[in-house]
Structures are given as C-alpha cells and as structure tokens.
A and B are shown apart, each in its own frame.
Chain A
Amino acid sequence: NAGVTQTPKFRVLKTGQSMTLLCAQDMNHEYMYWYRQDPGMGLRLIHYSVGEGTTAKGEVPDGYNVSRLKKQNFLLGLESAAPSQTSVYFCASSPDPYNEQFFGPGTRLTVL
C-alpha cells in the first residue's frame, strides 16, 4: 500500500497562475483533508471531505477550491495564486473523524 500520496512534490508559480494539487489514498478512507503549514503557525485546515462528492470548508478556505469526484482522490485548486499562498501543503485521510489521520509527504509551493 502506498498510503497517501501527493503530486507534485514541489512547484513554483507566478502570481495569478492557477494549479491543482492531487492527493490520492489507497486505504478506502471516507475522510480526506487539506492543510497548509507555515512557519510559526502550525497546521491549518483548508478544506475537508466526509465522502465522495462532498466537500466542506475548514479554517482557512479562502483562495482555494476542492473536489472529491472519486473516493480515493481529493484535489486542491488555486485559481489565482498569491504570494500569501506560499506554504507546504499536506493532504491527510482517515476512515472516520474518530481515528488518526494519515498524512501525505507534502507539497512545497512557492508563489513569486
């Protein structure tokens, strides 16, 4: 089992460009999450999904959109990237909200 994988590992964007981060899990988990981690800020929840076809806002959703068309995939989109979105993005999954979350290796995004 690969667990939780994220694509790409690194990306550099210019302000205003768009991109999509892909998260995939092979554990048949219902719940999936997107976080960003910034120095001195800890992990902050952007969006999450409680099952295929569902999405919900987390703590810092502005500037991001998500989609969960397939149970195993959770996509995070940036429509018009801004320097404030420079961060490390982590995807995670869990079978339900009462269990541990399994994290992917992260994507380091720089917006110039």
Chain B
Amino acid sequence: EDKVVQSPLSLVVHEGDTVTLNCSYEVTNFRSLLWYKQEKKAPTFLFMLTSSGIEKKSGRLSSILDKKELFSILNITATQTGDSAIYLCAVESGGSNYKLTFGKGTLLTVNP
C-alpha cells in the first residue's frame, strides 16, 4: 500500500523564523511529488518535483527531493503570518493506473 507521511503534523513559530516541513513516501512506480498550500478552502499548487537534488524555489519557499532516501522537504524562510496554512504533500505513482496519494498535512501557524 502506498504511503505518504508528513512531519510534523503541526508547528507553531514566530514571524521571521525559518521552518522545514518533511514528507517521506513509499510508493510503487514513483512519478512525481507535489506540494500544495491549503488555507481556508481549496489547495493551491506550490511545487512539483520529479528529479533528485534539484531545488525548486519561489520567493521565500523552496523544496527539494531525494529519490534515493524517498523524502522531500519544504523550506519557508522569514515566515509571515500569511504563511499560516496546512501544507500538503502528494505523490503521483502507478503504471497504467493513475494514483495520487496525499499525506495528512502539516498545520503551520505563524504568530506575529
């Protein structure tokens, strides 16, 4: 059975802190790993990672994938209160049958 495990499940930090969110996975026929941010409603896309060791960056957010050790991290530097959200990790896998497995998410709270 495919598994995606995120840690920590929740995290409280102060504005300006740097945070690292973790996502490990065990899937058959890995295709890609995706990070989403979910505030009050729909998840919004952050990154898609397919290759090991290549960092993807968008402003204060960055992510990297390690396909050998089967994990990814999402870094957020100089956190702001607007970064407060649930961060979801998902892994695409499967051969002829499409499969996307989500982790349970990390709830990040950034206090002023």
Chain A interface residues (CB < 8 Å from chain B): 4, 31, 33, 35, 40-45, 48, 50, 56, 58-59, 90, 97-106
Contact = CB atoms under 8 A, between A and B. Distances in A.
Given A42-B103, A45-B100, 4 more contacts: A42-B105, A97-B98, A101-B34, A101-B45
B68 interface: no
A99 B32 CA distance: 9
B7 to A, nearest CB: 13
What are the 7 A-B residue pairs with the smallest beta carbon separation, nearest first?
A103-B42, A100-B45, A43-B102, A42-B102, A42-B104, A105-B41, A103-B43
19 contacts: A33-B100, A42-B102, A42-B103, A42-B104, A43-B90, A43-B102, A44-B102, A45-B100, A48-B98, A97-B92, A98-B92, A100-B34, A100-B45, A101-B45, A102-B45, A103-B43, A104-B42, A105-B42, A106-B42
Nearest to B32: A98
A61 to B, nearest CB: 12
A59 B97 CA distance: 11
Nearest to A103: B42
Interface string B92-109: 100001111111110000
A73 B98 CA distance: 20
Taking chain B's interface residues, is the majority helix, strand, or loop, or is none over half, making it mixed?
strand
Interface residues of B, number: 22
Interface in B60-108: 88, 90, 92, 97-105
A100 B97 CA distance: 18
B48 A100 contact: yes
Contact of B98 (A50, A90, A99): A50
Nearest to B50: A98
A103 B88 CA distance: 13
B51 interface: no
